[in-house]
Amino acid sequence: MSQLEIELKQLKVEIINMWNLVHSQVVKSNVAMVNFDKNLAREVVSREKRVNGLELKIDRDCENIFALLTPVAVDLRFVLAVLKINSNLERIGDIAEGVAKYILSADKPFNPELLRMTETIAMYDEAINMLEDTLTAFEKEDTQLARSVFQKDEFLDKININATNATCQYLVLHPEDAYQSLINLSVIRRLERVGDQSKNIAEETIFYVEAKVLKHGEA
- The string over 117-145, giving b where at least 16 C-beta atoms fall within 10 Å of a residue's C-beta and e elsewhere, is bbbbeebbebbbebbebbbebbeeeebeb
> What pLDDT sits at residue 213?
82
Helices (H) and strands (E) in the chain, counts: 7, 0
Q: Are 145 and 131 in contact (CB under 8 A)?
A: no
pLDDT per position as a tens digit, 101-127? 999 999 999 999 999 999 999 999 999
Q: In 3-state terms, what secondary structure has residue 167? A: helix
pLDDT per position as a tens digit, 25-74? 999 999 999 999 999 999 999 999 999 999 999 999 999 999 999 999 99
Q: In 3-state terms, what secondary structure has residue 2? A: coil
Q: Quickly state the pLDDT bin for 93 (edges 50, 70, 90).
A: very high
Q: Residue 100: what residue type? A: A
> What pLDDT sits at residue 137?
97
> What pLDDT sits at residue 1?
80
CATH class of 3-210: mainly alpha
Whole-number Å distance between alpha carbons of 120 and 118:
5
> What pLDDT sits at residue 214?
74
Q: Are 14 and 44 in contact (CB under 8 A)?
A: no
Q: Quickly state the pLDDT bin for 216 (edges 50, 70, 90).
A: low
Q: Quickly state the pLDDT bin for 215 (edges 50, 70, 90).
A: low
Residue ranges of domains in the chain? 3-210
Q: Residue 208: what residue type? A: Y
pLDDT per position as a tens digit, 152-184? 999 999 999 999 999 999 999 999 999 999 999
Whole-number Å distance between alpha carbons of 193 and 179:
22
Burial of 4 (0-12, 13-18, 19+ CB in 10 A): middle
Q: Are 101 and 29 in contact (CB under 8 A)?
A: no
Q: What is the reported pTM?
A: 0.94
